[in-house]
Amino acid sequence: MKDRFQIRRDKLRSILKKDGVNAMIVTNFINVAYLTGFTGDDSYLLVTQDGDTLISDFRYSEQIEKECSELAAYIRPAEESSPKAALKLLNAVTPKRLGVESASMTLALRDLFAAAMDGWEFVGMQSPVERLRMIKDKSEIDLMRKAGVIAARAFECVKAGLRAEQTEIELKNQLEHVMKQFGAENASFSSIIAVGPWASLCHATPGDRRVQQGELLLIDWGATYKGYMSDNTRTLITTPKPSQKLRKLYEIVLQAHRESAAAIAPGKRCRDVDAIARSIITDAGYGKFFGHGLGHGLGLEIHENPRFNTVAETILEPGMVLTVEPGIYLPNWGGIRIEDDYLVTKTGAENLTPRLPIDFDAMVTDVD
């Protein structure tokens, strides 16, 4: 029985055949991992109509045997570079029409191949592996659920122990440490922790600003589990008596989040889902303060296709996973963002982190 990695390579092979390409060199290490199960780096994958070969070096020979023993591997000698190893294997391929990853192959690498491969035709492939990665299989979804559980548990711990005078960087380090204690390999990205007015910076860098009562505390974080990522944002209100303005703005963002998430379903166009959240925020008078897309795909990378934005024409399909993260950011006041990860199902969407509440009252946290 074929394993999931062989099935993925066969799907790629079908794409190549349809495009009249008889071989492809995969140089994006993340794509190599997706197609083989190999978790190392500095390795290429040669895919042909007759079979596949992982090109690596001595450092990974034992690891390759453990992670993908059914896959042919070429362990290059120390004096032979990965491009030269690939060229050696490509000499046996006919006809000479090579697909390359135009979205990630450097110009220098492309020129190196072209100089050594006289008579070959190079075909720039527009992210064929990334297109396959948009649809997650059951094993990927299970890993993303686990990543979400780890991230949620860590956030709950940090929130329960939140106190005044903690700095943003202290909270960042604490949150990422607790995620690792709960089983994460790493944080999915450098966690964003922003106090008060700094929450208006969508990707604020944590610093020495301290948590105080009566302010906003925006936390954007995620966990990586066996390569797969989660991504959430919560905006805590660090006062038992929040202002009416704060409540009003939060409820606008909350409505945008809920209504756009409820609209996710197979057959929907991504920009139409984005438009639902955008119209709610715009009708409330804050459209110019929501300047980013509604969300993005995620999986082996924190930002993948498809995207929710004003121009995204992708049609949603079961197995896609995207964030929903509307926000309002007022300079010198602060920002509010609510973000969760949604799996497109056959009938709608599933929140992959359902244990994390998003209601306003659940965000109120007295730090005195």
Report the interhelical angle of 168-181 vs 138-160 (nearest 10°).
Answer: 130
Q: 155 pLDDT exceeds 70? A: yes
Report pLDDT digits (tens) over 180-193: 999 999 999 999 99
Domain residues of the chain, as ranges?
4-133, 138-363
Q: What is the pLDDT of residue 313?
A: 98
Q: 247 pLDDT exceeds 70? A: yes
How confident is the model over 266-285, as a mean pLDDT? Answer: 98
List Cβ neighbours of 279 (8 Å cut-off, separation of 6 or more). none
How confident is the model over 195-205, as a mean pLDDT? Answer: 96
How confident is the model over 84-100, as a mean pLDDT? Answer: 86
Q: What is the pLDDT of residue 367?
A: 87
Report yes or no: 199 and 334 within 8 Å, Cβ to Cβ. yes
Give the number of other Cβ atoms within 10 Å of residue 22's Cβ: 19
Q: 304 pLDDT exceeds 90? A: yes
How confident is the model over 274-293, as a mean pLDDT? Answer: 98
pTM to 2 decimals? 0.94
Q: What is the pLDDT of residue 97?
A: 85
Report pLDDT digits (tens) over 119-135: 888 888 888 999 999 99
More confident residue, 46 or 90: 46
**Low-confidence winner among 104-108, 173-177, 222-226 (lowest mean pLDDT):** 104-108
How confident is the model over 147-155, as a mean pLDDT? Answer: 98
Q: What is the pLDDT of residue 94?
A: 77
Q: For 4-133, which CATH class? A: alpha beta
Q: 116 pLDDT exceeds 90? A: no
More confident residue, 177 or 368: 177
What is the band of 103 on the pLDDT scale with cuts at 50, 70, 90?
A: confident
Report yes or no: 53 and 93 within 8 Å, Cβ to Cβ. no
Report pLDDT digits (tens) over 27-51: 999 999 999 999 998 899 999 998 9
How confident is the model over 84-102, as a mean pLDDT? Answer: 86
Q: For 138-363, which CATH class? A: alpha beta
The answer to whether domain 4-133 and domain 138-363 are alike in fold is no
Q: What is the pLDDT of residue 124?
A: 87
Q: What is the pLDDT of residue 245?
A: 95
How confident is the model over 249-276, as a mean pLDDT? Answer: 98
Q: What is the pLDDT of residue 269?
A: 98
| E strand intervals along the chain | 23-26, 44-48, 52-57, 72-76, 97-101, 121-125, 186-187, 192-195, 216-221, 223-225, 228-229, 232-237, 295-297, 304-308, 321-324, 327-330, 334-337, 340-344, 349-351
Q: What is the pLDDT of residue 91?
A: 83
In this prediction, what percent of the chain has a pLDDT beyond 90? 81
How confident is the model over 255-263, as a mean pLDDT? Answer: 98
pLDDT mean across residues, the chain: 95
What is the band of 1 on the pLDDT scale with cuts at 50, 70, 90?
A: low
Bridge partners (DSSP) of residue 72 are 53
Q: What is the pLDDT of residue 30?
A: 96
